[in-house]
Every structure is written in structure tokens, then in C-alpha cells.
């Protein structure tokens, strides 16, 4: 998929996350935000997969260990949903690792436990900060 198409989808992701936050506010469980965000994105006509398994390959061998991506949008954008007091470096490292392991280009770390959703949006690109 071309990057300009991915950017259009990314704008929908941001807008949808703001919509969900306005509807629900802060303070709920991550699973609630994840479910509602998936529904909001589906209402916008986007393909959404939840709890997507990401296998671990080490030195060319597929290991019996999987990671789970919260949401995968249009098979291109990784979304990690949080509801925490503050984003820690480990949260960002998790998203960057998922981007690298999956070969995806763009991901968002969305923390819904903020007064204004724009404060909770972290965009990361594979290989860049």
C-alpha cells in the first residue's frame, strides 16, 4: 500500500481515537477502549483485526512464542491501546518492536487515560523516531 494511502488511514485512526475518548472519557480499562475504537474504525469502513498474533522468529527459526498486536488496521497500521497514568519507555519500545518484527511502517500508541486525547497520541514510524 502506498504511503499516502496509509496517511489517509492514519488520519482516520486519530480522528476515531478522539471520537472514542470524547464519548467515554478517561479512566476505563484498555479493553473497553480497544473494543470501541475497533467499532468506530469499522463504522468508518476500515478493516480492523483485534488481538493479532505476531510470531517470533529468531535466527531463522520460528519459535513457540507469539506477541499480540492490539489492533491492525487495513493490514498496515499497528495500534497499541493503553489506559495508564503516563506512557513509559517500555510502551514505546513495545510498539517499535512490533513494527520491526511485523515489517509494518506505521504505528500508534494511544493512551486514553488523559484529559485531552491529543495528549495521548504517539505516532511511530519503523526505523525512525
Question: How many other C-beta atoms lie within 10 A of the C-beta of residue 68?
Answer: 11
pLDDT, position 128: 55
The domain spans of the chain are 3-125
Percent of the chain with pLDDT over 90: 88
Q: What is the dihedral of CA 101, 103, 82, 32, to 10 degrees?
A: -110
Question: How many other C-beta atoms lie within 10 A of the C-beta of residue 41?
Answer: 25
Question: How many other C-beta atoms lie within 10 A of the C-beta of residue 73?
Answer: 24
pLDDT, position 62: 87
The pLDDT tens digits for 107-119 are: 999 999 999 999 9
Return phi, psi of residue 108, to 5°: -130, 135
The pLDDT tens digits for 56-89 are: 888 989 888 889 999 999 999 999 999 999 999 9
pLDDT, position 115: 97
The pLDDT tens digits for 8-19 are: 999 999 999 999
Is residue 129 pLDDT above 60, yes or no? no
Strands 61-73 and 121-125: unpaired
From start to end of 1-129, where are the E strands? 48-58, 61-73, 77-82, 106-111, 121-125
The pLDDT tens digits for 17-48 are: 999 999 999 999 999 999 999 999 999 999 99
Amino acid at each position: 500500500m502506498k504511503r499516502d494511502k496509509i496517511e489517509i488511514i492514519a488520519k482516520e485512526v486519530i480522528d476515531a481515537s478522539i471520537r472514542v475518548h470524547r464519548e467515554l472519557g478517561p479512566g476505563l480499562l484498555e479493553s473497553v477502549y480497544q473494543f470501541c475504537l475497533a467499532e468506530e474504525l469499522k463504522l468508518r469502513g476500515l478493516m480492523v483485526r483485534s488481538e493479532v498474533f505476531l510470531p517470533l522468529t529468531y535466527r531463522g527459526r520460528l519459535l513457540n512464542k507469539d506477541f499480540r498486536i492490539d489492533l491492525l488496521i487495513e493490514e498496515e497500521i499497528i495500534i497499541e491501546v493503553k489506559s495508564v497514568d503516563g506512557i513509559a519507555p517500555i510502551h514505546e519500545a513495545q510498539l517499535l518492536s512490533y513494527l520491526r518484527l511485523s515489517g509494518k511502517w506505521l504505528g500508534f500508541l494511544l493512551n486514553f487515560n488523559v484529559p485531552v486525547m491529543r495528549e495521548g497520541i504517539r505516532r511511530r514510524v519503523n526505523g525512525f523516531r
